[in-house]
Chain A
Amino acid sequence: MSDLLELRGLTAHYGDFQALFGVDLTLARGETLAIIGANGAGKTTLMRAITGIARVTAGSVALDGRQIDRLAAPDILRAGIAMVPEGRRLFPSLTVEENLRIGAHARQGNGFWTLERIFDLFPILRERRSHPGTALSGGQQQMVAIGRALMSNPSVLLCDELSLGLAPVVIKEIYAAFPTIRESGASIVVVEQDIGQALKIADHVHCMMEGRITLSGRPQDLSREAIHDAYFGVSHA
């Protein structure tokens, strides 16, 4: 597997507050990567820095060998990175179908994902296509947000806190779509507080704390204790 996305020494600030401290991370083609960590660990900032919403103050982001960290957010989307933002952020003035179609706003040419394929992935959205996006349940809104990101046919799909505020049965339903998304050719990064879910779907897990990656490895190689310690910042030293 060759590296598709490569972060080197990524640093980001909110005003004077430094939120990321030299994060190194690679995502191989076809891989699913999970980033776990407590609130305020810098996971969302990391997603925002990759997509150009938060400004990168040092370090680099490369996609397929091309440096993209100086590009504006709309150009990073065009380069092939789409995001399902935290809190879903559907457009309230748009219907479900319009929310999905706007995901393809910048798309050129054909790709795997079409409106019909999104409806096949999440059949409930076909029935609700003319409802306002924000009139749906939380889980259905999350499906729209995922579909909307897929409509750009991204090579990298970033998912920020998919399970936040959703019932376990709904989370399971949403993650059931991931094998299909992987098969479509997208490499995936999920940010999760739900450690169990993250370990289940990921090839690699990184744990973040205070803007740094404190633990990395394959799920099967990481002990529960090591993850617990990295997550909560417990030191046995």
Chain B
Amino acid sequence: MFFDRPEARLRFLNNTLAKQAERQAQLQHSLRHFRFLERTRFYDWVLEARFYSAILEEMRALAPSLPENRRHLAERIQAPLSARAFFLIHQSRHAFYAVGIALAGLTLFGLYLLVTWSARNVNSYLAQRYNRGRSPIVVTTSGPTPADPFTATSAKYLPGYNPEKVWLVERNGEFEKYSNGCRILTKYETDNHPRGYYSIPRGSDTDGDQMRNNIVGIIYHTPESEMVSFTPDNNEAIQKRSRGLLEYIRDHKSYNYLIDRYGEIYRVVRDEHAANHAGDSLWADSKNTYVLLNESFLGVCFESRFEGAASLDEILTPAQITSGRALTDVLRTRYSIDDANCTTHGLVAVDPEKMLIARHHDWVRNFPFEAMGLSDKYKIQPPNMIDYGFTYDEAVLTKLGNKLWVGAVTAEEEFNKRAEKARISPDALRRKLRERYISQWKKIRGLHAGSGDTDVPQLAGKPSGGGQSTESGNN
């Protein structure tokens, strides 16, 4: 007999039953969400097996206190195989726990690897998918050189180049003639409102305190109006469209100058008055930042269509290039305009609401800076991007045919570095700078309240040959 004393047997029974009751409670708790299992044979089988297991455990625990000749009796108990299995599992549960933890660790590690691998694949897939749908961004390196040998050779920009002294030769009721051969027709000349703006020291967070009205720069435009082929048999149509365009520009006071397709230069809005050409715009030279460039920059418009043109030759005629160069020299000489402030509309126009560049995209590429005796502004980082964080998105890229000038690409990177250095996210820094831009914008706008000077008016869709567009199309 295993137990020679009744209290030992009673203790064994009580301990076993207590253990079984505890395990039953544990099992019920574990299966609390699967109550239906308690009505199955599986549940009974598990309970029975655990009961036998508890018996074996208790006997194993009691064995050391028994005389040696009775210790082996526990092994002779005829317990079901399932009970012995449970007992063995229970005895070696610590090993099971260790294996379980190791397996859990391995599983987690495997899951981690799987997730990272999947993420990589998904990224790769998405990247491929996007690349299929959209052309990669092409970085345009510089402004083109005109194919025409004459304009090409004469327009070569040299570092440190300043236009030679140009003077007024003759002025009458129809034109002004300058010493470099430049002739400016004044037939369509009109007034708008006198210039007035605040110069803002570059990099400062002030709104500017010194009020100025001098001309500091030139912005080149295209009106994006409908063009007819530049052939002799279209002379009449060409001239008719030019006249229509001039009248429209005059009525809307859109630009200071227009260069028609034959190279004729027309002054429309007087130089000392601001034309409505630049709208929301921002540029800077080494000293100052300029906001709302209508007030400080002259607007020079080439009668042409930028949109859809593959090369400069499709946009400008050689006569326009020659005249453009002559007019640029006249204006730079007359107003001491720094090369740094001769740029294009596409490079200065911004959308402050979305903080995006190229709100208008005339001349975002292909402008012949060198032919105009100017340095290539496509190579420099646009001040609106580097200083104020204006950027581009998918829509802008689509609008620009996925082509960006090199300065824009490097400016974006530079701005992000700046934000990182300031321990602030680029978006947060951008929001802060937006507030600065709006404040500066408001201060200048305050000078011309009621002047009617808004953004460049939308001209696209005007009757062909009549009021052509001075806008860059996708406004």
Whether chains A and B associate is no
